[in-house]
Amino acid sequence: MTGAPVWPGAVAVALVVVATLAIGSLGLRLSRTTSDFMVASRTVPAFTNASAISGEYLSAASFLGVAGLLLTFGADMLWYPVGWTAGYLVMLALVSAPLRRSGAYTLPDFAEARLGSRRVRTICSVLVVAVGWLYLLPLFQGAGVMLGAALGLPTWIGPAGVASVVLVNVIGGGMRSITLVQAVQYWFKLTALLLPAAVLLAVWLGDGRPDTERLGRPDFPTDVLAWSNPLADGGAQGLYLTYALIAATFFGTMGLPHVVVRFYTNPDGRSARRSTLLVLALLGLFYLVPPVYGALGRVYAPELAASGESDLLVLLLPRIVVPGLGGDLLTGLVVAGAFAAFLSTSSGLAIAVAGVLGQDVTGRSWGGRRLGGVAAFRLGAVIAVVVPAAVALGEPSAGVATTVGLAFAVAASTFAPLLMLGIWWRRLTPTGAGAGLVVGGLGSGAAALTTLYLDGPAGWVGVLAARPALWSIPLATAVMMLVSLATQRTVPPGVRRFMVRLHTPEALDLDRG
């Protein structure tokens, strides 16, 4: 974007920041109790909650990464949005309403209530923080890359700016503030992506240049046939990579702490199911748009894939296709949408991690002193945001979609088996749950670290490390079940009553009066 004016993007980002803080201030006036800060006192209606869930779920990996992956690797990368959306089907059918009825604030709360074990709660707390930070890291890194490419700013401004705005809203109003912000940001992000896409399509339709003139350029990393293949090339290894990606995104959705906590904010289980159904429609609508950028990028900007700048496709394409002021304005709009994507998902993750830290770390008694609920939450929010932001300042970006995919794999290998078995299998024991969480967390976590920070080994070992979900999910589930069957004497005594509570509509639940 050398030589292009940066003022449209700068103005748009400034407006997004001002609007985010202004909307968040509305929640500040309403947030008083711990329940307000953590779950908005369970008063969020279905449509608002669905918009907020979609707003926080559609991160930069969706806004920028999907189009870039499609540009470089082709139709095989459509499995990312398919898996991310389809994961809500499992939540709708099996998880959302029972989880809402559990009465828990966080995933560790659910684990302790279901299994009666502080040890399992501690393991869950560590995993929530690990998954949250693994997800926050690429968001902060991506914000720096995005602002550097769009506005020519130093890369440290992205992590610092996003972290600062998120902290102000999270500390100020907690879940109430973030819910309002994320609900508005979903519709803004959809507009910021859809409107330029419509203009670009109109230009392409009137361009008159046949696709073959550009699709045959030598700087494409793959040929046209490979680009249109919905299953990865490479024989058995390619098929494994495809199905491992589907498994990670499909089951990882229910294990993401910032997604799960949203179902505690609905008034009842019916509202939680309605929220999930609406989320499917909202995500499906959004994910129709990134493939348009990926396909048009093959026509107008294939050199971005060859140069390793494919994540910037959405930001750069408007000026490439529409020169002059029109392209500058469209670029400003997508820059604002991308920045909103960083803010919304980072806010949701910060809430989830802060809730766990506030209960299990900062809320504990230290030296005879104990912080109150809101104070502990706020201190937890500072730790939740500052640590990954500091790491992002010193680490090069590993690619937003790649790192987010690994976060999904870790979540799928730990919390997905815990929720499925905890909700639907009465024989799950604390020992079995703890063993499965440790095995799934260590296996997928080691694979993620190997992929991010080490040169991956060649052959099948490298393939298994790059996308571990297809072996780590079955392994964690099998360990949970086998160890539980071997330790049936430790089944919590109140499990039958708790299971009835999970599967009884609130109107009939005698425990709730």
Mean pLDDT throughout 107-132?
Answer: 92
CA 233 distance to own-chain centroid: 27
pLDDT in tens, 103-117: 777 788 899 999 999
Question: Which pLDDT score, from 0 to 100, does residue 471 have?
Answer: 95
Assess whether pLDDT exceeds 60 at residue 224: no
- pLDDT of residue 438 exceeding 90: yes
Q: Which residues of 71-92 are buried (b: 16+ CB within 10 A; e: fewer)?
A: bbbbbbbbbbbbbbbbbbebbb
Q: What angle do CA 168, 171, 174 make, to 5 degrees?
A: 110
Task: Specify the higher pLDDT residue, 95 or 198.
Answer: 198
Alpha helix ranges (H) inside 370-508: 373-394, 400-424, 430-453, 459-466, 469-486, 495-503
- Provide the token pair at 35: 């329940």
Spatial distance between the Cα atoms of 395 and 326, rounded to a whole number of angstroms? 36
Q: Is the pLDDT of residue 359 over 70?
A: yes
Higher pLDDT, 414 or 449: 414
Average pLDDT estimate for 475-504: 93
What is the rounded CA–CA span in Å between residue 243 and residue 248? 9
**What's the burial of 369, exposed, middle or buried (CB within 10 Å: 0-12/13-18/19+)?**
exposed
Contacts of 408 (CB under 8 A, 6+ apart): 248, 249, 252, 253, 256, 469
pLDDT at residue 278 greater than cutoff 80: yes
- At residue 418, the pLDDT reads 95
Residue 430 has a pLDDT of 96
Round to whole Å and give the CA distance between 312 and 135.
19
Q: Angle at CA 107, nearest 5°, toward 104 and 110?
A: 45
Quote the crossing angle between the two packed helices 313-321 and 325-360, to the nearest 10°. 170
Tell me whether strands 369-370 and 365-366 are parallel, antiparallel or unpaired: antiparallel
What would the 3-class secondary structure string for 430-456 be? HHHHHHHHHHHHHHHHHHHHHHHHCCC
Cα gap 88→252, rounded to integer Å:
10
CA distance 430 to 450: 30
Residue 219: per-residue pLDDT: 52
String of b and e for 212-225 (b: at least 16 CB within 10 Å)?
eeeeeeeebeeeee
- Look up residue 365 and give its DSSP letter: E
pLDDT digits (tens, 9 = 90+) for 279-322: 889 999 999 999 999 988 888 888 888 777 888 899 999 998 89
Give tens-digit pLDDT for 310-348.
Answer: 888 999 999 988 988 888 999 999 999 999 988 888 888
Q: What is the mean pLDDT of residues 188-194?
A: 94
- Cα 17 to chain centroid, rounded: 21
Tokens representing residue 488 in the block:
């049936």
What are phi and psi for residue 447, nearest 5 degrees? Answer: -65, -40
| CA separation for the pair 256, 410 (Å, rounded) | 9
Q: Tell which residue, 305, 268, 51, has the closest CA to residue 180.
A: 51
Higher pLDDT, 313 or 221: 313
Secondary structure string (H, E, C) spanning 189-244: HHHHHHHHHHHHHHHHHCCCCCCHHHHCCCCCCCCHHHHCCCCCCCHHHHHHHHHH
Helix (H) or strand (E) holding 370: strand 369-370
| Structure token digits, residue 219 | 């700087």
Q: Measured between alpha carbons, how far is residue 493 from residues 100, 135, 433 in Å?
A: 22, 37, 16
Tokens, residue 512: 């709730």
CB atoms within 10 A of CB 305: 24
